[in-house]
Amino acid sequence: MGSRTVGKLYPIALDDYPKLLRYKVSEKGIYHIEDLIREIFVENKELSLNKLTQLGLLLKTYICQTKRVDEEVMFQEISKRARNLGGVETHEIKAILKRLMMRDLISSNPLYDPRIAIGIHHKEMY
């Protein structure tokens, strides 16, 4: 029997996190996350909005995939930096996701269950 602990990020059981998103981070994607994090926090580089968005998408996917909600603090920091650069439109996110897939940094998530995301959306509406 899995954990029914409700996660901090979404009002769902922590065990359902890996089913939440359409994508999963590949091994190559994990290395890309590490490279971008090193650039920001070790080399103190200012990343472009595109790179920050890539990192944010990869981190959120990684968090859901691994149920490592403790990484949310870093995701929030990346999101804040992206907002300070003007933020990203929905169509840009879709384009970035497509590029991440083409570069094999993410792939389809065989565990994805769209009912979970729809359930969250319905709860937020009421």
Q: What is the total count of domains within the chain?
A: 1
Q: Is residue 81 part of a domain?
A: yes
pLDDT one-digit tens code per residue, 62-73: 999 999 988 999
Specify burial of residue 60 (Cβ count, 10 A radius: 0-12, 13-18, 19+).
buried
- Cα–chain-centroid distance for residue 68? 11
Q: Is residue 3 part of a domain?
A: no
Q: Is residue 114 part of a domain?
A: yes
CA distance 88 to 52: 10
Q: Is residue 9 part of a domain?
A: no
Contact 46, 72 (CB under 8 A): no
Q: Is residue 12 part of a domain?
A: no
More confident residue, 69 or 9: 69
Q: Is residue 1 part of a domain?
A: no
Contact 117, 77 (CB under 8 A): no
pLDDT one-digit tens code per residue, 33-56: 999 999 999 999 999 999 999 999
Among the listed residues 59, 68, 64, 54, the one whose alpha carbon sits nearest the alpha carbon of residue 98: 54
Range of the domain at 94: 18-125
Q: Is residue 4 part of a domain?
A: no
Q: Is residue 2 part of a domain?
A: no
